Amino acid sequence: MKSHLHIALMQIDIQWEQIDENLRQISQQLAALPRETEVVFLPEMFATGFSMNAEKLAQPMNGKIVQWMREQAYKHRIILCGSVMIYDQGKYWNRLIWMQPDGNFGTYDKRHLFAYAEEDKHYTSGSRQLIAQVNGWRVALYICYDLRFPVWCAQQPTDDGSAAYDVLAVIASWPASRIEAWDLLLQARALENQAYVIGVNRVGEEPPAKAHASHGIQYPGYSAIVDPAGKWLYRSTHPQPEIITHILSAQHLQQVRKHFPFLRDRDRFTILNHE
């Protein structure tokens, strides 16, 4: 494992269903990142907002948004991570893409669809997890509502008893009305898994869902980085666009796990598919 991992969280104001404008703004922000940045995390559905209009906006894997991710990752020599509404195999997916500078990528389809907003009526649930790698660091990747489900996010026991991942990253569209839960869950996932936890959330407002509504859903940001002992390394507390850069330390991670080595006592389990 490389001694440090340079990350950036892009807490952005997503313009509702305006793909070209969102990609333009993010392109400008990527150009301003420090050159040593290795991984950039974007919020859930960064190009459209958390829209249920999949029939109109979803794109194939060779569409504009994925191609833009490939171009930006290559141009800036970074890994670019965010979720996109995708049409694939005759179904719609809320798909996280881990795009590498060489054009290779990994994908994760959101497991826990947010039924409260009828996401389950528009998208298909995924069944496979993704633990990506960058310079020896292992990064477990999740989308928004997944954060509420500790078993899905848990460190799976390995043959040698070591941790399955070093970083747990959650990309989200998490509303202001439930932001206290966001804070608590980020810290809980860090503590129980002895891993860095990254949570990147958007800011701004969605249009009102109903004609008589005075305002839409508010997004407050509160993007954060938590250390393996559950302590805040960074926590945004204002609802404004922000680019957060941070350096994760492998030595600190190893020290926490060595001082309190409870991962070796964790339960063994198997997660069943929904079907």
pLDDT of residue 210: 52
Is residue 116 situated within a structural domain? yes
Q: What is the CATH number of the domain that holds 93?
A: 3.60.110.10
State the total domains in the chain. Answer: 1
Is residue 275 situated within a structural domain? no
Whether 226 and 186 have beta carbons less than 8 Å apart is answered as yes
DSSP structural state of residue 162: -
| pLDDT-wise least confident of 65-74, 242-251, 258-267 | 258-267
> What is the rounded average pLDDT of the residues 192-203?
98
The residue type of 223 is S
> Could you tell me what percent of the chain has a pLDDT over 90?
88
- In whole angstroms, what is the distance from residue 194 CA to residue 154 CA? 10
Asked whether the predicted pLDDT for residue 160 surpasses 80, the reply is: no
Asked whether the predicted pLDDT for residue 275 surpasses 60, the reply is: no
Is residue 158 situated within a structural domain? yes
| pLDDT tens profile 230-257 | 999 999 998 999 999 999 999 999 999 9
Residues carrying an active site annotation:
44, 110, 144
- In whole angstroms, what is the distance from residue 87 CA to residue 100 CA? 21
Could you give the strand order of the β-sheet that contains 79-88, starting from the edge strand earlier in sequence?
A: 105-109, 91-99, 79-88, 39-41, 4-11, 242-249
Task: For residue 72, give the nearest of 108, 137, 22 by alpha carbon.
Answer: 22
Place of tokens 């070591």: 162
Whether 200 and 46 have beta carbons less than 8 Å apart is answered as no
On average, the pLDDT of the chain sits at 95
Q: How far is CA 225 from CA 122, 126, 191, in A?
A: 31, 26, 13
Token pair of 241 as six digits? 């666009």
Asked whether the predicted pLDDT for residue 158 surpasses 90, the reply is: no
**Structural domain of residue 87, as residue ranges?**
4-265
**Helices and strands: H and E segment counts in the chain:** 6, 14
Is residue 118 situated within a structural domain? yes
pLDDT of residue 214: 56
Whether the CA torsion 192, 193, 198, 204 is positive or negative: it is: negative
> What is the rounded average pLDDT of the residues 25-29?
98
Q: Virtual CA dihedral for 172, 175, 176, 178, nearest 10 degrees?
A: -90
SS3 category, 119: helix
Q: Helix 64-76 and helix 19-31: axis angle, to 10°?
A: 10
Is residue 273 situated within a structural domain? no
Is residue 274 situated within a structural domain? no
Is residue 243 situated within a structural domain? yes
For every residue of 247-264, DSSP letters joined together read: EEEHHHHHHHHHHS-GGG
Longest pairwise C-alpha distance within the chain? 58
Is residue 112 situated within a structural domain? yes
> What is the rounded average pLDDT of the residues 68-97?
99
